[in-house]
Amino acid sequence: MEKANDDMAMARFLELFPNLLPKEEWPWKKANRALESLRFRSIEAGATILREGQVCGSVPFVLEGVLRIFKTAESGREITLYRIEAGQSCILSAGCATGTGSFPASAVAEVASTAAFMPNETVRTLYAESAGFRDFMLAQYSSRMAEVIELVEEVAFRRVDERLHQWLLEVAGASSPPSGPMVATHQELADHMGTSREVISRILKDWEQRGFVEIARGSLRLLPGFEKLKI
């Protein structure tokens, strides 16, 4: 980023993360040393930020957009662990920064995004010296663990068709399905559900035959009555 953009990004960082460096603990001169270590980065949609097994050099704090954290099986199947949105950070990266080794998943920008990357050394210093920073990171751990536990419950105890039905309704954002198609391939839906493309295709074909969805190449349309579909 150019300096003008850096200034805007810094202002956005201070707006979104006001409690990381409480003024009563961190007078400006002291806080400024930590802030000067930040590196701002614009990330294109679909760009890989970190691959599983790589060593993290910094921790992202999202300013705009969405980062997706996911695991990939040997078969190539993916499952989303959690997403990081504006005002949030990545607990797995923070774990790397505090010495837990390599990154145990992969991270990509789901949409065009902007993030502030804080070097590991700064993260360790703030975690040791700033109660505000510790409180923020612990809150992030709590939130992400709740998401991962919910994911485990869904994968272990709920059928794929139930989870897919609920997720499609949530994406539709209304009790009555929209008239427009949803752009998504069967593989993308499979990755999101943590299953195979064949399973998703079989479920959608059944729903199409029952008159609840209309399938086209790379897209899916929910038809009237989909919300009342009996699974």
pLDDT on residue 172 = 78
- Number of domains into which the chain is organized: 2
Is-above-0.75 flag for pTM?
Answer: no
Domain CATH number, residue 193 = 1.10.10.10
pLDDT tens per residue across span 139-183: 999 999 988 887 887 777 678 898 899 889 888 774 444 556 888
Domain of 190, in residue numbers: 160-228
Residues 119 and 192 in one domain: no
Residue pointed to by tokens 């989303």: 80
Q: Which of 6-10, 48-52, 166-170, 172-176 has the lowest mean pLDDT?
A: 172-176
- Closest CA relative to residue 187, chosen from 56, 107, 67, 77: 77
